[in-house]
Each structure stands twice: as structure tokens, then as C-alpha cells.
Amino acid sequence: MEKNICLIGFMGSGKSMIACELGRRLGLEVVAADELIEAKEGRRILDIFKTKGEAYFRDLEQKVIEEISQRRGIIIDCGGGVVLRKENLANLKSNGIVFYLQAAPEVIYERVKHEGHRPLLKGPDPLGCIKELYNQRLPLYNQADFVIDANDASIEGPVAEIIKKYKG
């Protein structure tokens, strides 16, 4: 039975792009946790946060992760805060290999600074906010099975490294 490839990391670390390329190269289905949550709720994550709050969203996220972690041989593209609940990491590891796509806060900021749908970027100091959250989450991200350097603009390196470790 094939294990899942689970991608975790801060927003803007390249999870979605890398997941798509891995899916193409390996012929595996890509399941984006955030997209599933939006489909189940019938609204965008931004709206869920605004109307129901973060705790409600994290409950939904935990249910979705528990569900999709039971599948086999898929690529799971996780939201940036998935590590905030230890159950999520445990579920991902139960049938999968977890890869943390590590990118520096400054790199992340450059990648996402023009994206209007990101609540973190709405405040007066978005880079400061990114750094603070990043540092809080770093010990959780580092619980992944593998840390993959995702600072480069090209996804080729991370994709090749993940495939090598997945097949190795």
C-alpha cells in the first residue's frame, strides 16, 4: 500500500504548486485540504474566519485531515496552520510521509504580498506578522518527517527531493 505525500509549511511556501507538479509526475491525486473545507462549507476560508472564527475553522480542518489521511497513495496539500493541532500531524503521519516546505519569512512575504485574500496581509506590518507566526509554528513544522528547502523560486529542486525521499 502506497503512503501519502503530505505537504506542510507556511502560506507561500509553495505547497500547492509543488503538490500539483508531484501529482503530474507521480500520477497521484492531489487533495487540497483548504479546497475541501471550502467545498464542504460552501464559502471561502476568509469568510469562515470572519463569520465563525478560527476555532470553528480548525475544527473543520481537523475533520477533513482525519478523513483524507485514511486514504492511500494521494498527495495532501495542507493549509499553513494545520500543525496547530497535534491530532492533524498524527493523522497525516499515520498513512503518510510529511514534508515541511521551509521558506524564510522574507521569501514568503515577497511571494504573497500582492495576494488580497490573505488575512495576515491586511495589517500595518504584514512581514512582522508573518515572522511572528512563523516563529511560533516553526517547532511544529519541524516535526515533519523531512524538511525541504523551498526558498528557491523554482519548484524543481523541492519536487525532485520529495520524489527521491518518497521512493527511497
Res 132: pLDDT = 93
pTM of the model as a whole: 0.95
Res 73: pLDDT = 96
Res 1: pLDDT = 60
**Contact indicator for 131, 152 with CB cutoff of 8 Å:** no
- The crossing angle, in degrees rounded to 10, of helices 45-52 and 54-69 is 130
The domain segmentation of the chain, as residue ranges, is: 4-167
Interatomic CA distance for residues 102 and 83, integer angstroms:
14
Res 113: pLDDT = 83
Task: Tell which CATH architecture fits domain 4-167.
Answer: 3-Layer(aba) Sandwich (3.40)
Per-residue pLDDT of the chain (168 residues; tens, 9 = 90+): 699 999 999 999 999 999 999 999 999 999 999 999 999 999 998 899 889 998 999 999 999 999 999 999 999 999 999 999 999 999 999 999 999 999 999 999 999 888 776 766 777 888 998 999 999 999 999 999 999 999 998 999 999 999 999 998
Neighbours of 32 (CB within 10 A): 20
Res 115: pLDDT = 77
Res 75: pLDDT = 98
Which residues pair with residue 121 across a beta bridge? none
Res 122: pLDDT = 73
Beta carbons within 8 Å of 103's beta carbon, 6+ residues apart: 9, 10, 12, 13, 14, 111, 150, 151
Beta strand ranges found along the chain (DSSP E): 4-8, 29-32, 74-77, 96-102, 146-149
